[in-house]
Amino acid sequence: MDPMRISETSRYRADLIDLAFGLAAHTAGFRRSLPEGILVALADLVRAMNCYYSNLIEGHDTHPVDIERALNGDYSANTEQRNLQLEAKAHISVQTWIDRGGLRDRATTSDGICEIHSRFAALLPEELLWAEDPDTGERMQIIAGALRQRDVKVSRHLPVSPGAVPRFLRQFEKAYLRLGTTEAIIAAAAAHHRLLWIHPFLDGNGRVARLMSHAMLLDTLDTGGIWSIARGLARNVSTYKRHLAECDLPRRNDLDGRGSLSEEAVAAFSYFFLETCLDQVKFMEELVRPERFRDRVLRWVTEEIDADALPKKSGRILEAILYRGELRRGDVPALLDASDRHARRTVAALVEHGVVTSASTRAPLRLAFPARLAPRWMPGLFPERSL
């Protein structure tokens, strides 16, 4: 599977370095622009978005509103839809573990990759733990975290034999572990493809690769989990899959690197991958640009107050949280110029609407991003749910 990384002498390297620097700068600037309280809430929403788009690439369409319902224990009566909700909930559980440091500095290790698969598959319903051989129709059971024990075919690609998988994963770990910042950013795309090329598991390789990429970028760029490569890949899914197929191709000529596979193809995919990352950072940056985001939120709360769905002056609480990142409960009565009882009632109404949250009855109030309000607060984040 060489080349594992873009060589130092490659003619593509300078452009990729420029892209890596641009991505690092935009990511750092975006994260610094947000108060900590907003960061936490945004990361929660992005997990649902990441899950939605990653599953969509696999042909599973579970809207973030339905994902949010599953997280609150509200499942569809339809068995198929319920299973997809549980699948989405499993994906979010694994990403939450990653975002909290569960894979720190070991995203590309064999143990780390197997743990992603194990944690994800362990939470799936029984009906989703089976794969089918497209040629014979044979049903094959998926074991959480277990490397495949049989040959497979993925479109035109024939992954390595089952006995060779552990050896290739050791080589994979050696190539991508403990890289410098710039090299790790550039290598993220190659690692993404090479893991899919090995195809270590019977099923679930695509999701594992995207979660691994998320973990790599989280480590390298300190993203805070507030943007997602999965959205960009899903919105350009035909280009994504074309690049992956081209990266499977052998070296074309003497100018195409020195490995068995095409360096030109993996460089093109790397450029596409990093451009997609940068596009998603800029997209999220624009969505939560403070003055515009504030206007959308306050416009919504005004409409809710006019419809008697929220108490008057509710907007003051949201505006304060948007400005400060969080709001102490004891500050609410003075902010509203109201009694403690009225302040508690107003806070309770905002919590019931799902737009304000706190860790406990004494903890500060923070903003929440309910998926059902994304079309109003963050238009374009994901498609509106069809009725």
Which residues pair with residue 356 across a beta bridge? Answer: 367
Report yes or no on 184 lying in a domain.
yes
Q: Which of 247, 270, 287 is the C-terminal boundary of a domain? A: 287
- 171 with 86, same domain? yes
Report yes or no on 157 lying in a domain.
yes
Q: Tens-of-pLDDT digits for all 387 residues of the chain?
A: 999 999 999 999 999 999 999 999 999 999 999 988 899 899 999 999 999 999 999 999 999 999 999 999 999 999 999 999 999 999 999 999 999 999 999 999 999 999 999 999 999 999 999 998 888 889 999 999 999 999 999 988 999 999 999 999 999 999 999 999 999 999 999 999 999 999 999 999 999 999 999 999 999 999 999 998 999 999 999 999 999 999 999 999 887 888 899 999 999 999 999 999 999 999 999 999 988 999 999 999 999 999 999 999 999 999 999 999 999 999 999 999 999 999 999 999 999 999 999 999 899 999 999 999 999 999 999 888 754
- 126 with 173, same domain? yes
Cα torsion for 319, 320, 324, 328, to the nearest 10°? -140
CATH number for position 337? 1.10.10.10
Report yes or no on 383 lying in a domain.
no
Which pLDDT does position 383 carry in this prediction?
87
- 182 with 271, same domain? yes
Report yes or no on 4 lying in a domain.
no
Q: Are 210 and 229 in contact (CB under 8 A)?
A: yes
198: buried, middle or exposed (CB in 10 Å: 19+, 13-18, 0-12)?
A: buried
Which pLDDT does position 187 carry in this prediction?
97
Q: Which of 229, 262, 287 is the C-terminal boundary of a domain? A: 287
Q: Which of 234, 266, 287 is the C-terminal boundary of a domain? A: 287
Nearest alpha-carbon partner for 376 in 367, 366, 368, 384: 384
Q: Are 37 and 326 in contact (CB under 8 A)?
A: yes
Q: Are 220 and 21 in contact (CB under 8 A)?
A: no
Q: Are 192 and 213 in contact (CB under 8 A)?
A: yes
Which pLDDT does position 364 carry in this prediction?
95
Distance in angstroms between the alpha carbons of the first and the last residue of the chain: 46
CATH number for position 52? 1.10.3290.10
Global pTM exceeds 0.85: yes
Report yes or no on 203 lying in a domain.
yes
180: buried, middle or exposed (CB in 10 Å: 19+, 13-18, 0-12)?
A: exposed
Nearest alpha-carbon partner for 119 in 42, 226, 215: 215
Report yes or no on 178 lying in a domain.
yes
- DSSP of 181-239, one letter per residue? HHHHHHHHHHHHHHHHHH--SSS-HHHHHHHHHHHHHHHHH--TT-S-HHHHHHHTHHH
Report yes or no on 352 lying in a domain.
yes
Report yes or no on 5 lying in a domain.
no
Question: Which tokens sit at 311?
Answer: 């108490």
- 270 with 303, same domain? no
- 156 with 262, same domain? yes
Which pLDDT does position 387 carry in this prediction?
44
If one counts the domains in the chain, the total is 2
- 164 with 308, same domain? no
What is the span of the domain harbouring residue 131? 13-287
